[in-house]
């Protein structure tokens, strides 16, 4: 099993940002009628989400979260030696958006900047990657950024997911902390990569026809739209995920009672209830944010933290965190987080105007 250990690296701050554009599930009534949105909310628990403005990208949301974080905690940016950006919604095919963010945030050229293309498991994978790199370096601080604008990749008439995806960004400050310890379990199963897929636009098939066709679930799409096999994803979520959590608890010699909060990827309320039931997790230990923010992919775990504890009284939280989804990939980790390091969620309508490349810029 792929267990990873991290020692001496702790979480020094968490900030999240969403677009200043709230969209309610009820707003889809003119498109789908009253019955479909009502059934969707009842089944998923989602009532609203925030969707990026036309010019807004995942990096804009991550940037807003990072600026809020670094400014609030008065971090010396010259001491940030590492920045990891997790996204499947990059600004460009090339170069890496991580390098653009390094520049925008005013980080030193001595700061390593890398990008990870993962979705719903991205926070767990990104956190372990950043901690491992920082642990083997002399950097005083590290920065884990996440951003996603999956709503831009969904067919507007796809009733199965157009009301599901919310957009968001997150920033996590990592710092040296002698007593900090974490254990992470990471898994992947590429044999199920078609369970959630957007076929067009990559180098396998850059410009396929835009013809629409009826998929196995009876919904019409093109190859340029996200497709999700709901049955396969549901089976994975209620089978592989709780099994992995149980194996993790056995490996670490812990029980749900040892944690103050269990943060699960905010995929679907019914799925989360099934996981909680199998692990006998009390409701008060499994906070939800998807009812107001939708499924925000890899950002959903830090977003839920900021939503639940961004205005809470100061206390130390022993957390268990699990992300799972597209890939398929999933992971579990633990961390101690001080609630006074968790900031309330902010909204932004800003976007990076210099980042929109025009022909004049290239002449």
- Whether residue 74 is preceded by a cis peptide bond, meaning omega within 30 degrees of 0, is no
Instruction: Give the burial string for 187-200 (b: 16+ CB within 10 Å, else e).
Output: bbeeebeebbebbb
Tokens of 71: 């400014």
- Asked if 18 and 50 touch (Cβ cutoff 8 Å), the reply is yes
295 is catalytic: yes
DSSP state of 165: B
Of 36, 306, 65, residue with least CA distance to 164: 36
- 318 counts as catalytic: no
Is 306 annotated as catalytic? no
Round to whole Å and give the CA distance between 1 and 132.
17
The residue annotated as part of the active site, out of 68, 268, 295, 334, is 295
**How far apart (Å, rounded) are the C-alpha atoms in residues 330 and 228?**
17
Q: Is the dihedral of CA 15, 181, 262, 149 positive or negative?
A: positive
Catalytic choice (16, 265, 322, 334)? 265
Classify the phi-psi angles of 197: left when phi > 0, otherwise alpha if psi is within -120 to 50, otherwise beta.
Answer: beta
Active-site entry in 16, 120, 306, 322: 120
Pick from 266, 201, 267, 202: which is nearest to 230 by CA? 267
Q: Judge contact between 183 and 3, C-beta under 8 A.
A: yes
Burial class (CB in 10 A: 0-12, 13-18, 19+), 315: exposed
Spatial contact of 295 and 354, defined as CB atoms under 8 Å apart: no
Which residues are known catalytic residues?
Answer: 120, 265, 295
């Amino acid at each position: 099993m792929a267990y990873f250990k991290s020692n001496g690296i702790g979480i020094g701050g968490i900030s999240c940002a969403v677009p200043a554009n709230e969209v309610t599930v009820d707003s889809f009534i003119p498109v789908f009628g009253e019955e479909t949105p009502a059934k969707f909310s009842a089944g998923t628990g989602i009532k609203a989400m925030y969707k990026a403005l036309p010019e807004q990208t995942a990096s804009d949301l991550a940037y807003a979260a990072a600026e809020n974080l670094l400014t609030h905690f008065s971090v010396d940016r010259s001491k940030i030696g590492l920045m990891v950006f997790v996204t499947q919604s990059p600004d460009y095919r090339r170069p890496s958006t991580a390098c653009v963010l390094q520049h925008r945030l005013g980080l030193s050229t001595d700061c390593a900047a890398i990008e990870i293309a993962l979705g719903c498991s991205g926070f767990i994978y990104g956190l372990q990657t950043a901690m491992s790199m920082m642990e083997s370096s002399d950097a005083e601080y590290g920065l884990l950024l996440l951003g996603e604008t999956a709503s831009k990749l969904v067919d507007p008439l796809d009733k199965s997911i157009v009301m599901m995806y919310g957009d968001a960004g997150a920033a996590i400050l990592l710092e040296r902390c002698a007593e900090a310890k974490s254990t992470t379990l990471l898994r992947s199963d590429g044999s199920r990569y078609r369970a959630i897929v957007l076929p067009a636009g990559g180098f396998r098939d850059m410009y396929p026809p835009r013809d629409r066709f009826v998929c196995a679930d009876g919904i019409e799409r093109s190859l340029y739209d996200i497709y999700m096999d709901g049955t396969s994803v549901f089976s994975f979520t209620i089978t592989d995920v709780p099994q992995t959590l149980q194996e993790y608890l056995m490996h670490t010699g812990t029980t749900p009672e040892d944690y103050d909060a269990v943060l699960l990827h905010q995929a679907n309320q019914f799925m989360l209830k099934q996981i909680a039931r199998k692990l006998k997790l009390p409701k008060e230990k499994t906070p939800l944010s998807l009812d107001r923010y939708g499924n925000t992919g890899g950002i959903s775990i830090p977003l839920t933290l900021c939503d639940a504890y961004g205005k809470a009284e100061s206390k130390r939280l022993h957390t268990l965190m699990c992300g799972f989804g597209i890939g398929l990939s999933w992971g579990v980790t633990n961390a101690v987080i001080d609630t006074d390091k968790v900031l309330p969620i902010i909204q932004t309508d800003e976007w990076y105007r210099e980042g929109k490349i025009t022909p004049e810029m290239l002449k």
